Amino acid sequence: MTAGELCTARSGDGTTIAYERSGGGPPLVMVGGAFTTREVFRPLAELLGDVFTTVLVDRRGRGDSGDAIVPHEAFSYTVDREVEDLEAVVAAEGGRAAVLGFSSGANLALHAAAAGLPVSALVLYEAPFSLAGLPAAAPDVPRRLAGLVAEGHLGDAVATMQREVIGLPSAMVEQARRSPGWHALEELAQTCVYDATITAAPNVPTPAMRALAVPTLVVCGAQTWPTLRAAGAALAGELAAARYVEVPGGAGHEIAAEATAALLRAELAHG
């Protein structure tokens, strides 16, 4: 896909948030999860550019975005920081938008909408809320991750995130540590603190989330992990204006781009 226009917005703490805009139509802001940049959405955006202005966000500390939080202050992160980041992007793109969040980015999108972000619709793709048996990480994980980042133990922070938050087997994590791509993950180590905080125990919808009147699609790939499908169905049952949809494909917690694009065309393109 040809890259779109690289734009920036300034968040409340001065952080520059980069995002890529392309296509035409109502804005659809896309927010990724752990270890992702805006690139995770490129296949989906390519399929939607004729009906939406796609806005692919690099969350703080990733891709072309900055981060006013320095490593030894990673413990100071709160979800409000990234709510403000999304507010800045939406304001720069006309003041109101549909928002699609993927994985922990879906949790963030729901946090932001419940905090008053002007959202016309929400799409929560495989949001890992701790429902229907999906476990929450230990409450001290964000603090421990922040300590590892402050001490410069970036690989250990990534491994801890993968084992204790994402739930990957230790053998798989150790194999990944020996791979050429590990360094790229280490560059995102500080953002592990952020995603672990967003999904921190008890990691269930708040009363404000449950009462939200924004039309919401909770989406899972039919071939994703069964625990995520069960959690997604349970999440839709918790939210006042939500509906659960499974789309074909999406093995291994990946975005099923073609099926998701077809769903969004049918459900959101009219707005």
What is the reported pLDDT for 246?
98
What is the phi-psi region of residue 245: left when phi exceeds 0, alpha when psi lies from -120 to 50, beta otherwise? beta
14-46 pLDDT, tens digit each: 999 999 999 999 999 999 999 999 999 999 999
Q: Final residue of a domain: which of 174, 196, 218?
A: 196
Is the same domain home to 55 and 179? no
Of the candidates 88, 99, 70, which has an alpha carbon nearest to the alpha carbon of residue 17? 88
Q: Rounded to whole angstroms, how far apart are CA atoms 49 and 157? A: 37
pLDDT along the chain (271 residues), means of 10: 87 98 96 98 96 98 98 98 99 98 99 98 98 95 98 98 95 96 97 98 97 98 97 98 97 96 90 51
What is the reported pLDDT for 178?
95
At 104, which helix (H) or strand (E)? helix 104-114
Is the same domain home to 153 and 72? no
- The angle, 0 to 180 degrees and rounded to 10, between the axes of the packed helices 189-198 and 79-92 is 100
What is the reported pLDDT for 270?
62
Quote the strand ranges of 81-160, DSSP E.
Answer: 97-102, 119-125
213-249 pLDDT, tens digit each: 999 999 999 999 999 999 999 999 999 999 999 999 9
What is the reported pLDDT for 184?
96
Q: DSSP for 246-267?
A: EES--TTT---HHHHHHHHHHH
Half-sphere exposure at residue 35, Cβ-oriented, CA atoms within 13 angstroms: 16
Q: Rounded to whole angstroms, how far apart are CA atoms 224 and 254? A: 7
Is the same domain home to 11 and 26? yes
Q: Looking at the chain, how many residues does it have?
A: 271
Is the same domain home to 83 and 191? no
- The angle, 0 to 180 degrees and rounded to 10, between the axes of the packed helices 104-114 and 189-198 is 50
Q: Rounded to whole angstroms, how far apart are CA atoms 143 and 215? A: 34
Of the candidates 64, 54, 65, which has an alpha carbon nearest to the alpha carbon of residue 11? 65
What is the reported pLDDT for 269?
73
**Domains contained in the chain, number:** 2
Half-sphere exposure at residue 177, Cβ-oriented, CA atoms within 13 angstroms: 17
Is the same domain home to 112 and 92? yes
Is the same domain home to 153 and 208? no
Is the same domain home to 82 and 214? yes
What is the reported pLDDT for 2?
66
Q: DSSP for 79-101?
A: HHHHHHHHHHHHHHTTS-EEEEE
Is the same domain home to 154 and 105? no
Give how far Cα 113 sits from Cα of 69, 88, 97, 192, 195, Å: 23, 13, 11, 22, 17
The domain in which residue 103 lies consists of 5-133+203-267
What is the reported pLDDT for 209?
98
20: domain CATH number is 3.40.50.1820
What is the reported pLDDT for 133?
95
> CB within 8 A of 140, min separation 6: which ones?
none
Q: Rounded to whole angstroms, how far apart are CA atoms 123 and 268? A: 10
Is the same domain home to 244 and 154? no
